[in-house]
Structure 1
Amino acid sequence: MRIETLSVHLPDSVATEQVGALLVQAVRTLETGMVIHLIGDLGAGKTTLSRGFIRALGHEGAVKSPTYTLVEPYEDLQPPVFHFDLYRLGDPEELEYMGIRDYLFGDALCLIEWPERGQGVLPPADCQIELKVEAAGRRMTLTAASVQGQALMNEFREALSHGWTVD
């Protein structure tokens, strides 16, 4: 599979949440489980993107970073979403103790912040989303890493074509 990337400028946190919501449109067409790695420094917008994604699926409560709990389940959503934040993970083996494999089932969608901290235990990503601070805003780069990731990118590119500038 040829690895493709797609890049878009996000001027502020509102745009970051909006792009998270657009990702949902793409995911809904796929009807399959997916692992999405969220890469970026502290404050880059990983949780903001996740918030837009989770709210677009219908969650009405707060969406906070699961920094201390490692995972925040949203099992009532369709598809179910598990939002991981591995920033405080001491050892990748801790993921085995918390039952990481139980979250990776069927049509569940896993959003994983700081995936490099779970290296060797986490499954490979279907796609990786990197967020970087850029002048007045953020630069989001999506990289497809599987057939499902490529399908997501294609659908996402289509959703972005209605009002967003894609690099």
Structure 2
Amino acid sequence: MTEFHLADSNATDQLGRMLAATRPSQAVVQLHGDLGAGKSTLARALLRALGVQGAIRSPTYTLVERYPLPKGGEAWHMDLYRIGDAGELDFLGLDDAQATLWLVEWPERGAGALPPADLDIHLSIEGQGRRARLQAASAVGEAWVSQLGDGANLQGVPVAG
């Protein structure tokens, strides 16, 4: 597990850029944390760093927003906070499996209906900033986290984990 202290929104944006720069060709990222922990902010920074232009909308009410990626593939940003159970995902057309990157907020609400995670990111409020804990959940995730290094390029200080 790798942990970072994100002192401010610039540090969160930098983590998003680092994740984008080291992203595997196919990955499922599960974003965990309370309301306001920074899940959408991190997802937005990652998508922007991947070259998504225009508005990056929160999927709070639509449940899923799909973004074509300039270098090919499609990113799906999902927010499952408002679903009652995983069965509701049957109506979203997720079986198409066109996504090369899944960013899933509140993944526990879709348990059993989502592809397995490669990377779990746990975000929490810590003082004026945030703490990000990155935990690989597959070989793809292990390789991804190892490419991030020690976070020396991240504004703020990595936390020993």
TM-score normalised to structure 2 length: 0.90
CA distance in 2, matches of 1:125, 1:91: 18
2:22 match: secondary structure: helix
| Aligned pairs for 1:53-132 within 5 A | 53-78=46-71, 79-102=73-96, 104-105=97-98, 108-132=100-124
Indicate the residue corresponding to 2:15 in structure 1: 19
Asked if the contact 1:36/1:112 (under 8 Å) is kept, the reply is yes
Residue identity matched to 2:11: A
CA distance in 1, matches of 2:154, 2:120: 23
The CA deviation at 1:163 is 4.7
1:54 match: secondary structure: helix
CA distance in 2, matches of 1:53, 1:35: 13
Residue identity matched to 1:85: D
Residue identity matched to 1:50: A
1:49 match: secondary structure: helix
CA distance in 1, matches of 2:85, 2:154: 42
TM-score normalised to structure 1 length: 0.87
2:158 match: secondary structure: coil
Deviates further, 7-16 or 138-147? 7-16
1:6-39 per-position Cα deviation (integer Å, ceiling 9, x unaligned): 0000011221122111100110xx3x31100000
The CA deviation at 1:64 is 2.4
Computed over aligned residues only, the root mean square deviation of the Cα atoms, in angstroms, reads: 1.6
Residue identity matched to 1:61: G
* Structure 1 residue ranges without an equivalent (≥5): none
Aligned pair count reads 157
CA distance in 2, matches of 1:43, 1:163: 21
Residue identity matched to 1:81: A
Distance of aligned partners of 1:133 and 1:60 in 2 relative to their CA distance in 1, 3 Å threshold: same
CA distance in 2, matches of 1:47, 1:139: 15
* Structure 2 residue ranges without an equivalent (≥5): none
The CA deviation at 1:77 is 3.4
1:116 match: secondary structure: helix
